[in-house]
Structure 1
Amino acid sequence: MKTCAELALAAAALLLPALASAGLFGWPEPPLPAGTQAEPVAERIVFNGLDMRARVFRSSQGVQDIVDYYRKAWNGQVVVNKVGDATVIGHRDGDYFVTVQVSAAGSGSKGDIGIVDVASAPKQPELGKGLPRPMGSKVFNDIAYPDDPVPARTVAMRNSLSPQQNASFFRERLAGDGWKPAADGRCTDDGCVLSYARGDGKMTLVVARAGDGQSQVVINVQQP
């Protein structure tokens, strides 16, 4: 006769895979339909303060087949919306929210799967923290890849300055922060491209007119 300890271990062996797939011991692993190949975009992404994982996929199945698959896999507990040419399927899995965005590709489909840790999301993330920005700028994206071999971060903002005014602001502020030009800056009437280095770090700024008297600034920082 098995002891209580042996019975407990046997029960745990049966339960652990189910608990893991449900996300109780970490990030959930959404199932994939037959004929679907997925690859990770990054091990970890912090998107506007939200900790997330992402994968891209291609499938021999069509868009409606993908939607029907996830409706069944998630017992109908989904929200389905059209976003442009894509269909987005959303599902809450414990402390995580999973989205599958799919669109037609040839005879099959392609898309991406995003998993967001909603439980640990900050209520008011400070987008653009630690980077200079002209007065009146509105930061709308702050995306970091902290676990990549070379950690990277991309910050995007809009403001009412011209590309040349933005370029002058960043030249002055970045010089004060120890960033040195890594190449000659290039400016035209419609935009500017600036490159900087500080130690092993690299920074690229792209400024472009965005219409309505606005400019868009995209800053990419790579810091080993």
Structure 2
Amino acid sequence: MKLLIRLAAAIVLLCGGLPAAAQDWPSVPVPADAAGYWVTEHMLYNGLNMRASRFEIAQPLAKVEAFYRDAWGARMARTPWRNKTILGRAEGRHYITVELTPAGNATRGQIGVMEIPREAPRTPPGSGFPMPSQTKVSEDIVYLDTPQRTRTLNMENAFSPLQNAQFYSRTMKARGYVPERGSTPCTAASDQCISFYSRHDAKLMLSFKRVASGSNLVAVQSR
């Protein structure tokens, strides 16, 4: 799903200049007999409105691709990626991507619909969320179709898991959060640490995983 979202986001930003209406989603065809479900009916991905769903069908990838070529015709774009095929099409104020992955004699599909914004988001990913200096945010996702507003951030910096855990311990306590049960101890030798915090109006999970360049950070906050 990350590949589909990133590709769609890049295309949408290149297609800027059109008006947007997030509630007016286009319908996306799926092959007959496909079993599908929603991932999210509305989310913000790095500030862009999007919805996502998945399906699976007992047909080879080539046949599923032919279905979309028949449905979309020459306006369909095709991008091969490793063992996947990504199909795309602009429709009005939206851009649609369908990521197809072979699964034996079946095919798995991931559908993303992203509105084309009038302009690029004015606030960068990660805005308003505390983070150590020089931290880079690759993904900032807010789910808008859940009872609680859930925000997920994927980040990376040059610090160790312990240094990140210590930063958030100080920072979140100063913001009124208290540590919760389930957190894992973090030492200088730890390759991965997980911290849980809560406040009267929010819950927060933080994961710090050592990588070659420092740490990968994942934050999940619900309000």
The normalised TM-score by structure 1 is: 0.83
| 1:120 positional shift | 4.8
Q: Is the 8 A contact 1:182 1:195 kept in 2?
A: yes
Alignment deviations for residues 2-46 of structure 1 (CA, whole Å, 9 cap, x no partner): xxxxxxxxxxxxxxxxxxxxx9x8100111112212211112111
Partner residue of 2:185?
186
Aligned residue type for 1:154: T
| Aligned partner of residue 75 in structure 2, secondary structure | coil
Out of 83, 104, 112, the residue aligned to residue 102 of structure 2 is 104
Partner of residue 173, structure 1 = 171
Offset from partner CA, 1:163-215 (integer Å, 9 cap, x none)? 11111111111111111111244225212110000114210000011113x21
Shift of 1:132: 0.5
Q: Give me the CA root mean square deviation.
A: 1.7
In structure 2, list runs of 5 or more residues that go unmatched: 1-20
SS at match of 2:203: strand
Contact 2:52 2:111 in 1 (8 A): yes
Residue in 1 that maps onto 2:204: 203
Aligned to 1:36: 34
Please say if 1:59 is aligned against 2:57.
Answer: yes
In 2, the alpha carbon distance for the partners of 1:86 and 1:186 equals: 39
Mapped to 2, the partners of 1:137 and 1:72 lie a distance apart of 45
Partner of 2:9 in structure 1? Answer: none
CA distance in 2, matches of 1:32, 1:178: 47
Q: TM-score, normalised by structure 2?
A: 0.84
How many pairs does the alignment contain?
Answer: 199
Alignment partner of 1:220 is 2:220: yes
Q: Which residue of 2 aligns with 1:80?
A: 78
Distance 1:65 1:125, change over 3 A: farther
The structure whose Rg is larger is 1
- Structure 1, unmatched stretches of 5+, are 1-22
Work out the CA distance in 2 between the residues paired with 1:62 and 1:120: 38
Q: Is the Cα contact below 8 Å between 2:48 and 2:117 reproduced in 1?
A: no
**Contact map agreement 1:102 1:109 (CA 8 A) in 2:** yes
| Higher RCO (CA 8 Å, separation ≥ 6 residues) | 2
Equivalent runs, 1:124-143 vs 2, <5 Å: 124-143=122-141
- State the one-letter code of the partner of 1:187: C
